[in-house]
Structure 1
């Protein structure tokens, strides 16, 4: 799951940047051609930073499933790394090519495409939902649809091949429509615009700002790395170390309420908006603080007392299906809402275009915007590239995917590719208006339909595979449009952006399975009582089971709770839209609330501390320059601990055990 975020700094530097952009666009010949905007040093930086971000995103996926947008962090690290490299070379007397905002945009695009595969590739959801452990957690052979053939263990070969097939085709879906989405309809793509504004701000702030950004990043990343190294010495056994520190007492610790000293989640909380973090905490209090202790007392009444808690017919079933109800309620409401906005806006745009064709001229058109449009159109990507690329890859997929998943018949794949372009357009249009990428909801629709059609014997695996196919195509195409919006505002060639996205996607399809298997071999992935709970794996498998057998999969009285929380999610969204200023801004986000229902409240406390840091920082110093430091500090906290994961994984694979177990017991 991706949690949306924004940056206050973007609004404050837009006006200052406008004059600089206007001067630059007055002479388009000053800009480098597209093949010069992609550099060897940029590709090297993309590989290095993309690898780190893939590991970070994979950890977030496999622990809580909450992954914020890291676009701003990617742009920031690209800026810091290349600016530092050029300064070092200049000091030793080696001339370098100037570092431009176009090269910065290219690196950011490549990094985002790379780690985007780790986020959207299904390693913590539909792919992991196929393995034996998730099969057993969902009830094993006792559950209809859970057959002996509905298991597929992770493997580097088939995962890499599947990702190349379903992700690369997403690059070609919307190429013919890029001008319509970005120029004709003038969609904002808020995350892409925010990234562009910050990139323009980085390159217009001078060396003083660059040094300050670098110093803050290096300090926080070094501290985060060393803190991770220090904590390792105290984790000799399970439930040991600072990650299990009973901050609020042992009783609260047993209900997952404690600060686990994870700087990754503190940094993530600094990037996410305050309402996201408060929603997470509210969900934790409502579930682990109130509901689950009360339902536990009903053991023997609501559910059998002699079955393990991890069973779907026990407490775990309530956790999983109530989480699903919140996710589906929120997703369905936003799906319908964005579809309505899309249709209304499309109708309005078509009417406007018909009026303009009669001779109406928009006299308020901004010169700067016209120059940006000129840059965007001048180096166009031929339409035949999109059409031919989509057709060839679709034919290869129809042949190859049934070999990877025999349960997913070739005619299901053809049906998915027939409907994918229209769904991708609707999703990209909605994301351009609202900044909400609904690809995961389209994936769930594909999951339910194919699971039901494939039947009880093959429905679970076929549904999960279909979910990945639909979600990947729609997600990658949306990310490309968002990055093309960034390139549009930074005057970067669409050809350079497309090639950067392709390079990043290829890197992601290789690096993401490798980083996943590193975690899978080194840590206890999918253990509901461990650190790497991978909560969405069990959710997606149970969605497939519901698609196969209906609501009979739910434990006693769970359906009534699901109805209540499904309605709650819809009502909350309705109130937010009905009164966005007075009441709506205080309403929680149901999707964010759903995560701690399944895994607990410890990470919500970490992220709220990140929010508190940002709140205090902004109160103490509201200077816009200082606000630009927040992403640098947050990125340092996330990256430092993320880098430590690599040596920690190697030590675990080498069976090197920490020397100390720090544990707390009642007196």
Structure 2
């Protein structure tokens, strides 16, 4: 038997042996995980509609679940904490799996209607598909090839560290909660006093240069969540955002306006610079994603040339039975086919094409995550958009929702495998983790869909408050495939083609170890063309704070920066939903 098909009898990866009688799948672990993860899912919708990024929930769920019960002197066991993070991670990623940050907003911006009840059913069906896409890959990726899955490994290490250094875990939880409270109170305050969020320096100081910069979006903005994101996402990404903001809004936008290619108001999508620079921004994002995917051709080959054992349940009573995932995959497929036809008018035969294509691309996304900790949801979604651009030309709704199956499947499949990696390192039961994952999916939907409705009812989708950059990219791709380059503003096709070349070149340049530290992140570069530049600036302020903190106390930065950042993101994200509800109720600012 080939070496790569042999599973060692003793797995040296396992870092913990469950104690005799140690509890795993308990009600308290599930409830804690689902609640924390669902909160993260709601904040992810708000943040992703602002900047196009979402954040994982596994580590924050593990820390908070452990800490909450520790405060009441009733600690979760290691295995219970793992179940909590599994359910929390599943719930937290429902914002992406349900399509609430990209394909669904893109559909709505194109003028299609999606009913509230349909969103619930669609979200669960697509998420379940992704989970069952992942299950048969577990043995090969986790046990045989031992892919690292960095976030899954970090979650396991975090759980074990909490039990060896309980004081640190409680301190991190306290810091997170206090930063969340501060961010939440500030967010509520700027609902009534908007000048707190956007101090009008150009008016107060009366400087003409500041007024000109502010007209192009270079103004002071104080956003706790984006400041926290600047602490969290790393220097290369933040510097790329800043470079994109300058290139798009300070150089290309003014040029397009002065040359008459975008003669309207600066911030107009219809005929202004905002609508013109959207296209090169989308081109950079899409082409970088597709080139990175193409350069991972070895991942494709390994995905479909290695043998995956489907019979592991016979040897391990805690393994996931084949009947579970095969039955779940069949049921999820049937429900998805029915919903796609009933809700989005996608013919059943096209959904039958989309599901196996999504399974293939989800397995590629899982391997990519295992090897690099990057889940190329956008890239695999664009592949499906390209395929359906040929199968169903001109039908933008079909194009978007077929890709939504792929994006949702890739999101949940990769999340499931991260959790299974964590569980494997801790000696947990895959069977119990599957149950926790499915329960977390359902809980996340119950919170995420109403949160999406509140946010998009309280703020203009695609407007300055929630520019929805990921959705803009999906929408632009669907429009381009439907109408061709002739539908673009003057000189935008040329800008798009140049930007596409830049996006394609960036992954090639990153293959050089010498150049890699200096090559910008193409996704961040493109997003900065779409979001207002003051969003990029406030993330840069967060990075500056990160540099200062590292200079003053690097040990404290290492220990607490994640907690501070997560608290700032969660605090503004949750209170942003409250502010949206106040807007719906007609509550006006006081100034």
TM-score (norm 1): 0.80
Cα deviation code 1:616-653 (max 9, x no counterpart): 22232233x65221111112222222332243233222
Q: Which residue of 2 aligns with 1:614?
A: 546
TM-fit CA distance, 1:311: 4.6
Q: Which residue of 2 aligns with 1:83?
A: 70
Partner of 1:422: 360
Q: Deviations over 1:544-582 (max 9, x none)?
A: 12222322222222222122212212222212112x2x3
Question: Structure 1: any 5+ residue segments left out of the alignment?
Answer: 1-18, 88-95, 136-150, 354-372, 661-667
Secondary structure of residue in 2 paired with 1:604: helix
Q: Cα offset for 1:189?
A: 0.9
Instruction: Indicate the residue corresponding to 1:222 in structure 2.
Output: 181
Residue of structure 1 aligned with 2:123, choices 160, 163, 166 = 163
- Map of 1:173 onto structure 2: 133
Contact 1:43-1:107 within 8 A present in 2 as well: yes
- The answer as to whether partners of 1:68 and 1:271 remain within 8 angstroms in 2 is no
Deviations 1:313-372 (A, max 9, x none): 65344222111210122111110122334426876x78xx9xxxxxxxxxxxxxxxxxxx
1:290 alignment counterpart: 251
| Distance in 2, Cα, partners of 1:345 & 1:468 | 22
Q: Is the 8 A contact 1:452 1:548 kept in 2?
A: no
TM-score normalised to structure 2 length: 0.90
Q: Distance in 1 between matches of 2:480 and 2:20?
A: 58
Deviation of the 1:198 alpha carbon: 1.7
Q: Which has the greater radius of gyration?
A: 1
Q: Does 1:433 align with 2:367?
A: no
CA distance in 1, matches of 2:441, 2:540: 33
1:643 maps to 2:560: no
1:553 to 470, 476, 487: 487
The residue number in structure 1 matching 2:206 is none
Tell whether 2:93 aligns with 1:116: yes
> How far apart in 1 are the matches of 2:381 and 2:329?
19
Distance change >3 Å, CA 378–CA 29, structure 1 → 2: farther
SS at match of 2:510: helix
Q: 2:504 pairs with 560, 570, 588, which one? A: 570
Deviation at 1:186, TM superposition (A): 0.7
Count of residue pairs brought into register by the alignment: 571
Match status 1:332 vs 2:290: yes
Q: Deviation per CA, 1:453-503, whole angstroms, max 9, x where unpaired?
A: 3243xx011111111112112221111011111111233221222111101
Q: Which residue of 2 aligns with 1:202?
A: 162
| 1:242 has 2:197 as partner | yes
Q: d(CA) in 1 for partners of 2:564 and 2:553?
A: 15
Q: What is the DSSP-based 3-state SS (H/G/I as helix, E as strand, rest coil) of the residue aligned with 1:67?
A: coil
CA deviations over 1:566-621 (Å, ceiling 9, x no partner):
2212222212112x2x3211211010111110122212222122222222222322
Q: Which residue is equivalent to 1:72?
A: 59
CA 1:475–1:313: 2 relative to 1, 3 Å: same
For residues 276 and 178 of structure 1, do their structure 2 counterparts lie closer, same or farther at Cα, with a shift above 3 Å needed? same
2:79 aligned with 1:102: yes
Q: Deviations over 1:372-415 (max 9, x none)?
A: x99x9561011121112112222233233211122x11111111
Q: 1:345 to 1:47 in 2, by over 3 A?
A: closer
The CA deviation at 1:152 is 2.2
- Change in 2 beyond 3 A, CA 1:632/1:31: farther
Indicate the SS of the match to 1:193: helix
Aligned-residue offset at 1:312: 5.0
Deviation of 1:118 (Å) = 1.0
| Distance in 2 (alpha carbons) for counterparts of 1:176 and 1:610 | 41
What residue is the counterpart of 1:54 in the other structure? Answer: 41
State how 1:269-284 maps to structure 2 within 5 Å.
269-284=230-245
Residue 308 of structure 1, CA deviation: 9.3
Structure 1 range deviating more: 321-330 or 63-72: 63-72
Further displaced range: 490-499 or 209-218: 209-218
How much does 1:217 deviate?
2.3
Evaluate the alpha carbon distance shift between residue 584 and residue 166 of structure 1 in structure 2; reply closer, same or farther with a 3 A threshold: same
User: Which residue among 229, 237, 240 is the counterpart of 1:268?
Assistant: 229
1:119-158 maps to which residues of 2 (within 5 A)?
Answer: 119-131=96-108, 134-135=109-110, 151-158=111-118
Does the aligned pair in 2 maintain the 1:269–1:606 contact within 8 Å? yes
Q: How far does the alpha carbon of each residue in 1:520-562 deviate from its partner, in whole angstroms, 9 at most, with x for none? A: 22222222xx312223333322211222232222222222212
For 2:270 and 2:483, the matched residues in 1 are separated by 14
TM alignment of 1:306-385, pairs within 5 A: 310-312=268-270, 314-343=272-301, 379-385=318-324
What SS class does the counterpart of residue 505 from structure 1 fall into? helix
Contiguous gaps of at least 5 residues in structure 2 = 1-11, 203-208
Query: Contact conserved, 1:128 with 1:154, CA < 8 A, in 2?
Result: no
